[in-house]
């Protein structure tokens, strides 16, 4: 025995330890974690682009019309709306595209 548990076993034990949490609540928690991870990764990439261009957070903040502290928050994944991210990306000469994925279809939305 390796002393390690499979991911399926870990999830089973957590669910057994919290029988009061419904399947829908587990799904909501999983989606919230996925959304937070995606925001963190997006912020990381925006920071990389900014640094590649030799820009400071203060310079981007001035261009976007937000505070340097807000730029820092965005780069840490604290993203609250799409328009701020679009404006931030535009200040870097980039653009954000949005698509809707449904089944095997992907539809450009904006």
pLDDT tens-digit readout, 59-104 = 999 999 999 999 999 999 998 888 888 899 999 999 888 888 889 9
SS3 (DSSP) at 6: coil
Give the pLDDT confidence score for residue 43 in this predicted structure.
Answer: 93
> Which class for 46: exposed (0-12), middle (13-18), buried (19 or more C-beta within 10 A)?
buried
Residues 83/94, Cβ–Cβ less than 8 Å: no
Give the pLDDT confidence score for residue 110 in this predicted structure.
Answer: 65
Residue with tokens 């399926």: 8
Residues 60/88, Cβ–Cβ less than 8 Å: yes
Residues 75/64, Cβ–Cβ less than 8 Å: no
Question: What are the angstrom distances between the C-alpha of 7 and each of 4, 12, 13, 83?
Answer: 9, 9, 10, 37
Residues 78/65, Cβ–Cβ less than 8 Å: no
pLDDT tens-digit readout, 23-50 = 899 999 999 999 999 999 999 999 999 9
pTM of the model: 0.73
Q: How far apart are the first and last CA of the chain?
A: 52
């Amino acid at each position: 025995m390796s002393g390690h548990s499979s991911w399926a076993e870990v999830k089973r034990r957590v669910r057994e330890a919290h029988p009061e949490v419904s399947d829908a609540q587990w799904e909501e928690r999983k989606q919230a974690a996925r959304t937070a991870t995606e925001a963190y990764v997006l912020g990381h990439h925006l920071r990389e682009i900014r640094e590649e261009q030799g820009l400071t957070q203060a310079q981007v903040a001035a261009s976007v019309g937000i505070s340097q502290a807000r730029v820092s928050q965005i780069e840490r994944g604290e993203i609250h709306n799409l328009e701020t991210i679009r404006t931030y990306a535009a200040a870097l000469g980039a653009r954000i595209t949005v698509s809707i994925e449904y089944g095997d279809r992907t539809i450009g939305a904006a």
